[in-house]
Structure 1
Amino acid sequence: MPYFRVTVPDPDLPTDVQRALAEGLTRLAVTELGKSAARTVVHLNLVPPGRYYVDGKPLAGGRDAHVEGSLTAGTNSAAEKAAFLAAADTLLSDLLGPLPRSGVALHELHPESYGYHGVTQLDFYRRPVDAPATSAAPAAR
């Protein structure tokens, strides 16, 4: 159940680029992390450049981006996470152009502290194998 927050200092980012970011990160969650597309959320946070600082100064001229993803701890290997980080960085520069300091961070949350539709990930993974997943929680990591 990954949640990705993408901060881009460009409130006028074209809709097609916004969609491509959301679709691209969802695709990478599936292909690199083995996540369910139906449970993947991408939140775009488009901010004015004057509210995005690099080296203590507002970003001037050009774009930058930062992606933060929340994942259930223990559901991905170091190699999977590294592959996602590299692919996400490529996606950002392909869609946004040269970036002075783009970053991607994956935060792993303990399954007791992270949930979906009122059910912790721990309980989701503990359900009997033959028990149907709720319609809101398809069987995937």
Structure 2
Amino acid sequence: MPYIRVTVTDADLPTATQRTLAEGLTGLAVSALGKARARTIVHIDLVPADRYFVDGKPLTGGLDAHVEVSITLGTSSAAEKAAFIAAADQLLTELLGPLARCGVALHELHPESYGYNGVTQFDYYRRAASAA
């Protein structure tokens, strides 16, 4: 169940662009990481550029974006993660234009320490295996 948080330095990013970004990142979670669409969450944070700092200074003269993805440890290969990072960077650039220093980070969380609806990923996968 990937949780994808995107920070964009455009407090007025149009709703249609936000929707396209969420749909695109969800699609990449499915195609590049092999995740389930229905279990993928995208959270978009829009911040003014003067609240986003690079080298200790507010960003000026352009946009930037940063993507952080929480996934369960051991559920995606190195090649899948590299493909996601490259495709996410391309998607952001296509939707937002040139970015100051776009970053994408994948955080792998242990399945005993990650879950939702009160169920850890460890228990979710164990239940899924026993039901099969």
Q: TM-score range by the shorter chain?
A: over 0.9
TM-score (norm 1): 0.90
Unmatched 5+ residue regions in structure 2?
A: none
Could you tell me which residue of structure 1 aligns to residue 57 of structure 2?
57
Could you tell me which residue of structure 2 aligns to residue 139 of structure 1?
none
> How far does the alpha carbon of each residue in 1:21-57 deviate from its partner, in whole angstroms, 9 at most, with x for none?
1000000000000001100000000011110011211
Which has a greater percent of helix? 2
1:66 counterpart SS class: strand
> How far does the alpha carbon of each residue in 1:66-124 deviate from its partner, in whole angstroms, 9 at most, with x for none?
00000000000000000000000000000000011000000000000001211100011
CA separation in 2, counterparts of 1:96 and 1:27? Answer: 18
CA separation in 1, counterparts of 2:3 and 2:113? Answer: 14
Deviation of the 1:131 alpha carbon: 2.4
CA separation in 1, counterparts of 2:11 and 2:65? Answer: 12
CA separation in 2, counterparts of 1:112 and 1:130? Answer: 18
TM-score (norm 2): 0.96
Question: Aligned-residue CA RMSD in angstroms?
Answer: 1.1
- Give 4+ residue runs of structure 1 displaced > 2 Å after superposition: 128-132
Query: Superposed, which structure 2 residues align to 1:30-109 within 5 Å?
Result: 30-109=30-109
Unmatched 5+ residue regions in structure 1?
A: 133-141
1:127 counterpart SS class: helix
Could you tell me which residue of structure 2 aligns to residue 136 of structure 1?
none
Cα distance change of structure 1 residues 61 and 128 upon mapping to structure 2, 3 Å threshold: closer
Q: Identity across aligned pairs (percent)?
A: 73
How many residue pairs get aligned? The number is 132
CA separation in 2, counterparts of 1:59 and 1:20? Answer: 24
Could you tell me which residue of structure 1 aligns to residue 3 of structure 2?
3
Could you tell me which residue of structure 2 aligns to residue 115 of structure 1?
115
